Structures are given as structure tokens and as C-alpha cells.
């Protein structure tokens, strides 16, 4: 969080595999205890932050572990929303798409949570933020399943360029694609960012934000480096950068009033400072 704040990131949405903060022999501490620790850290960070800052979790299931694990993550969302509804945005599924089960294999569990109307459940209408389309294989249909499940955003999503009809559906439903340029390059999904499919998607009017993907695993921090590489490779101009930055706020999962405040008060001041620096910079 501190590294993101240094880079003027106002909102951090962290994919989090819940239940991983403690060893197995500490089952006496339930998942809400984990959230207590996270909230304490977030509050400490906010005190020192020079601008309004928001942090929220997307609880993430591992497809490679199977249905029982996914059910556990959905149970954790139920538990967490009981005491900390402001800390949990929704649900995601991850793991390499070409070698793990598709999203459709977990559809009954996900739909069961979304459609659970019991007062004690807390998952009715649960928002999803699916990791999908991180593949060039047109026979994998996680993107289609994500759209069917009303995903708010799509993580990676560059496979979308292979499906013109789905592009139109994504635009119609106003779904934002979280593009992760450095990750796509490091993992070999593109060997040259200048040929990344997102350039095609941008030309077709798909809403895009720039995001990091496991930056600490790849030995960098925050999202600035992703912006630098994307700007150079995709020949982005200042309007593109502003739009993508604003998309990061518009399509975030924090409360609407907080999004409005960020766009009205926080972003314009930071953007003006950036433009002043840019104009004063001499090569």
C-alpha cells in the first residue's frame, strides 16, 4: 500500500486468497480474525497518507485446487461480509487457463452464492471480477462465461480480440479490461508489447485500465512501470493516460460516493500537478 501511495495510486484492490495468513495449526483464528489484522494495517496506512486512500479485497479461488477450495473462499466471503462488508469487493478465480478447469466447472457454486437470498448468507448479488482471456487459444471460453456471470471487470482479457461479437457485448455491458502489460510480456503471452492485442481493443472502444499482476513476484512495485511500457509500446497520448487512469476509479468497487469524490477532488489536483511537472521537464 505504501509503495502504491508513493506512485499516487488512490485505490488498491488486492486479489487475496483468504485463510493464508496463518498456519494450519491456528484454525482457532477464523477468517474474520484475518480481516481484523488487514483493517488495522489499512487504517494505519490511511493515517499517514497525504490524500484519501481506499483499499478493498477481491477474494480469490484457485481453480487448480478444486471445488472444495472454491466453496471455502465463498464461505469466507460470507463470513467476512458479516463484520467487514467494506473490506470485500467480490470474487475471482485464477490459475493458468490452458491447464486448469474452466470457469464453467465452478458455475453452480458461483451462481449458488450470487443467488443465495438467505439473510444470513451475505452473498446475494455478489460481484465478480474474473481473471479470463489470458490465452491465445480460441477454444477456451472463460471470457464468455465471465460475461454470462456479469463480471464487473475482466483481468487480462487480451483473448477478447479473437471474438468480435463478444467485444460488442463487453462494450454494451460496460465491462472494463484490466490490462497487465509487464506480466503479459514476462510470462511470454506477448514477445513485443507493440503487437499486444489491447491496441486493437482500444481502437474498438473497449474500456481499459492498466494494472500490475504480481509485481513483487516480478521484482517491481506499484503500477508506474506498467504505465511506462504501455505508453511507449502503444503510443499512448496524454488523453489516453488520463482516460485509463480515470477508468481505474470509475470501474473500481468502492462505494459510488467515494468514487465521485476521487474523481471530483483528488484526481484533478494530482493530474494538474503531473501536467505541471511534465511541462517543466527538460530532456
Instruction: List active site positions.
Output: 134, 156
Question: With 0-12 CB in 10 A as exposed, 13-18 as middle and 19+ as buried, what is 43?
Answer: exposed
Gap between the Cα atoms of 31 and 216, Å rounded: 24
Cell of 182: 509487464
Mapped onto helix, strand or coil, the DSSP state of residue 54 is strand
Residues with Cβ within 8 Å of residue 76, at least 6 apart in sequence? 18, 19, 31, 59
Cell of 120: 444470513
Gap between the Cα atoms of 88 and 16, Å rounded: 10
Helix (H) or strand (E) segment spanning residue 23 = none
Express the helix, strand and coil content of the chain in percent, nearest 5 each.
50, 15, 35
Q: What angle do CA 55, 11, 33 make, to 5 degrees?
A: 5
Mapped onto helix, strand or coil, the DSSP state of residue 120 is coil
CA 57 to chain centre: 9
Residues with Cβ within 8 Å of residue 47, at least 6 apart in sequence? none
List the 11-16 sheet strands across, edge first. Answer: 11-16, 54-62, 88-94
Q: Is residue 156 within 8 Å of residue 132, measured between CB atoms?
A: yes
Q: Is residue 199 within 8 Å of residue 234, measured between CB atoms?
A: yes
Amino acid at each position: 500500500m505504501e509503495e502504491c501511495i508513493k506512485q499516487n495510486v488512490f485505490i488498491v484492490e488486492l486479489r487475496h486468497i483468504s485463510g493464508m495468513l496463518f498456519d494450519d495449526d491456528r484454525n482457532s483464528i477464523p477468517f474474520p480474525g484475518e480481516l481484523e489484522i488487514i483493517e488495522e494495517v489499512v487504517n494505519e496506512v490511511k493515517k499517514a497518507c497525504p490524500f484519501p486512500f481506499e483499499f478493498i479485497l477481491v477474494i480469490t479461488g484457485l481453480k487448480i485446487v478444486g471445488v472444495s477450495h472454491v466453496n471455502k473462499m465463498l464461505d469466507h466471503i460470507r463470513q467476512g461480509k458479516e463484520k467487514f462488508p467494506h473490506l470485500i469487493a467480490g470474487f475471482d478465480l485464477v490459475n493458468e487457463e490452458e491447464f486448469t478447469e474452466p470457469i464453467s466447472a465452478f458455475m453452480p457454486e458461483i451462481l449458488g452464492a450470487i443467488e443465495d437470498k438467505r439473510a444470513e448468507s451475505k452473498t446475494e448479488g455478489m460481484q465478480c471480477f474474473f481473471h479470463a482471456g489470458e490465452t491465445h487459444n480460441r477454444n477456451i471460453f472463460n471470457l464468455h462465461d465471465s460475461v454470462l456471470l456479469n463480471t464487473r471487470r475482466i483481468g487480462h482479457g487480451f483473448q477478447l480480440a479473437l471474438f468480435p461479437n463478444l467485444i460488442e457485448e463487453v462494450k454494451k455491458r460496460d465491462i472494463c479490461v484490466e490490462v497487465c502489460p509487464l506480466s503479459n510480456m514476462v510470462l511470454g503471452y506477448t514477445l513485443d508489447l507493440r503487437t499486444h492485442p489491447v491496441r486493437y481493443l482500444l481502437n474498438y472502444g473497449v474500456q481499459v485500465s492498466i494494472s500490475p499482476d504480481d509485481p513483487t513476484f516480478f521484482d517491481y512495485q506499484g503500477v508506474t512501470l506498467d504505465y511506462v511500457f504501455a505508453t511507449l509500446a502503444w503510443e499512448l497520448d496524454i488523453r489516453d493516460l488520463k482516460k485509463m487512469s480515470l477508468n481505474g476509479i470509475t470501474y473500481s468497487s468502492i462505494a459510488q460516493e467515494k468514487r465521485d469524490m476521487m474523481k471530483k477532488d483528488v484526481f484533478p489536483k494530482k493530474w494538474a500537478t503531473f501536467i505541471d511537472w511534465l511541462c517543466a521537464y527538460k530532456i
